[in-house]
Amino acid sequence: MSALKSLAQFAAQIEYDALPARIAEKARACLLYGLAVAVASVRVPLSSLALAMRPAGTGATRLLDGAQVSAGAAAFANAMLFHARIQEDAHPAGHVGVVVLPAALAQAQSVRASGRDLLAAIAAGYEIALRIGRDHAADLSERGFRTTSVYGPIGAATACARLQRADPQTTANTLALAANTACGLREFVAAGTDEYAFQAGIAAQNAITSAALGGAGAAAAVSVLDGAAGFFRAYGADGRAYGARLAEGLGAEWEFAQVTFKPYPVCQFHRSLVAGVLALRGQAAGGALARMSVDMHPFEADFFGVRHAGPFSTFAQAFMSAPWCAALAWSRGRVDYAGMHDFNAAGTLALISKIQIRAAHARPRYQPSIRVTLDNNRELTWCDDSGPSAYDLDWNAALRMAAELYAEAGVSANLRERLVAAVADLAGAENADEVVAAAAAACTAARNH
């Protein structure tokens, strides 16, 4: 059996009751966190661009305005909303939740799937996308492609096929079709433009289309991943065995378990950088920064946009820039969405030239070390010894972040608790209506704040 067929069989046969408790919790946590980020993104101008498309159809809800639109249109608009402030869930293989979750919600509404089926589909979608990407993502990224919009449509199509109760062969065709829609480039970082959000929207919409084609009987190459002219070769390097462990431990070992969250609206490379700078700022007790050096794994230090030191005029430039994120954290003692857009802040800009980003092979991925020298020559150091595990996205983390994000959006605790209750009770729900209605109500409140 080909690797793709093994993945498809797993996805087609997965049931909520067979999920390990921690994976069922992870699915609920990702859904709650993703929707909370969406609520906090309502007033991001980029999100409202989807409203101008005026799509036809009904069957799914566009969260931003509560409109009933087609599943594909809802997936597109909601994916943009999930991704607009760049604070979504994270994994080294990308932010696949911004594609999987909106597509799965739209498809679940369209086919009137149960809450149990929605949670099982979410788990399957994440797992397939992350398994495809985990040994491939670094090479793909270095070529200038975006992991989120390359692996995302395959994972989202997996979730959609599961919600359609597609058989293994139909699911395999759906995944292969979705692999043909993989897209998205990183040039937006250098240009400082907005493609990143559109990439998520297009990927989610493509997943809906792929599932519809698969369900209608369209056939596609099951060798699409590792064939001579397949996905891995097209988006990777020659001679690499990217698919060697694709199906290894399916159902027993979960890549989905490694999904994390971001406390700040920054690139996931920089969440520990921000945390470390804030810790050192506290230790400095008001001392002025003379210089700062940040040692990062070379993959991160040399990544697109990470060393950018200005000028700053767009969010895309800011959230990828390590100097900007560090300077903002030191100058203000916090990193929030508003601060990430204050491109003319004198206090932040004055510090940029004092911050040096260094590639250090001794540093593990996502674990920077920071050395600060104050104006009195006092030196302070901080090192991330925990890694991504410090940001594990479990239910408690999702609850904390939902509280923070709803408060930032100016949405009441009552509306937050409505969404929390709906997601917590989803396994016993006949459909996803209350989850969607609770999120849409919060989005309306955020728009009116």
Q: What is the pLDDT confidence band of residue 133, given thresholds at 50, 70 and 90?
A: very high
Question: In this predicted structure, what is the pLDDT of residue 11?
Answer: 97
Residue 345 token pair:
């802040």
- Beta strands in 299-406, from DSSP E residues, in sequence order: 355-359, 369-374, 379-383
What number of CA atoms fall less than 13 Å from residue 164's CA on the CB side?
A: 26
Say if residues 408 and 337 touch (Cβ distance below 8 Å): yes
Q: What is the DSSP string of 60-88?
A: EEETTTTEEE-HHHHHHHHHHHHHTTS--
Say if residues 244 and 135 touch (Cβ distance below 8 Å): yes
Nearest to 176 by CA among 224, 130, 218, 211: 224
| pLDDT one-digit tens code per residue, 347-362 | 999 999 999 999 999 9
Strands 355-359 and 289-296: parallel
Nearest to 153 by CA among 36, 38, 240, 235: 235
List Cβ neighbours of 34 (8 Å cut-off, separation of 6 or more): 82, 88, 89, 97, 98, 101
- Beta strands in 297-389, from DSSP E residues, in sequence order: 355-359, 369-374, 379-383
Question: In this predicted structure, what is the pLDDT of residue 51?
Answer: 79
The helix (H) or strand (E) run that includes residue 163 is helix 147-163
Report which residue type is found at 33.
Y
Which residue would you say has higher pLDDT here, 270 or 54?
270
Nearest to 87 by CA among 297, 303, 270: 270
Residue 219 token pair:
């056939």
Q: What is the pLDDT confidence band of residue 247, given thresholds at 50, 70 and 90?
A: very high
Separation CA 239–CA 236 (nearest Å): 9
Question: In this predicted structure, what is the pLDDT of residue 239?
Answer: 82
186-192: average pLDDT? 94
Q: How far is CA 330 from CA 58, 179, 278, 321, 381, in A?
A: 48, 42, 6, 14, 14
**Is the pLDDT at 367 greater than 90, yes or no?**
yes
Separation CA 381–CA 375 (nearest Å): 15
Strands 289-296 and 369-374: antiparallel
**Is the pLDDT at 198 greater than 90, yes or no?**
yes
Q: Domains plus CATH for the chain?
A: 3-261+393-448 (1.10.4100.10), 268-388 (3.30.1330.120)
C-beta pairs of 48-56 under 8 Å, 24+ apart in sequence: 49/80, 50/76, 50/77, 50/80, 50/81, 50/201, 51/77, 53/77
How is residue 263 annotated by DSSP? Answer: S
**Per-chain mean pLDDT for the chain:** 96
Q: What is the pLDDT confidence band of residue 56, given thresholds at 50, 70 and 90?
A: low
Q: What is the pLDDT confidence band of residue 54, given thresholds at 50, 70 and 90?
A: low
Which residue would you say has higher pLDDT here, 273 or 54?
273
Separation CA 131–CA 289 (nearest Å): 43
| pLDDT one-digit tens code per residue, 310-332 | 999 999 999 999 999 999 999 99
- Indicate the pTM of the whole model: 0.96
Q: Which residues of 394-427 are buried (b: 16+ CB within 10 A; e: fewer)?
A: bbebbbebbeebbebbebeeebbebbbebbeebb
Nearest to 201 by CA among 102, 107, 320: 102
Separation CA 281–CA 335 (nearest Å): 13
The helix (H) or strand (E) run that includes residue 145 is none
- Tokens 């820039």 — which residue? 321
119-140: average pLDDT? 97
123-139: average pLDDT? 97
Question: In this predicted structure, what is the pLDDT of residue 46?
Answer: 85
- Residue 355, helix vs strand vs coil: strand
Say if residues 10 and 256 touch (Cβ distance below 8 Å): no
- Least-confidence region, from 53-67, 101-115, 301-315, 380-394: 53-67
36-49: average pLDDT? 93
| pLDDT one-digit tens code per residue, 217-242 | 999 999 999 999 999 999 998 889 99
42-62: average pLDDT? 84
Question: In this predicted structure, what is the pLDDT of residue 47?
Answer: 87
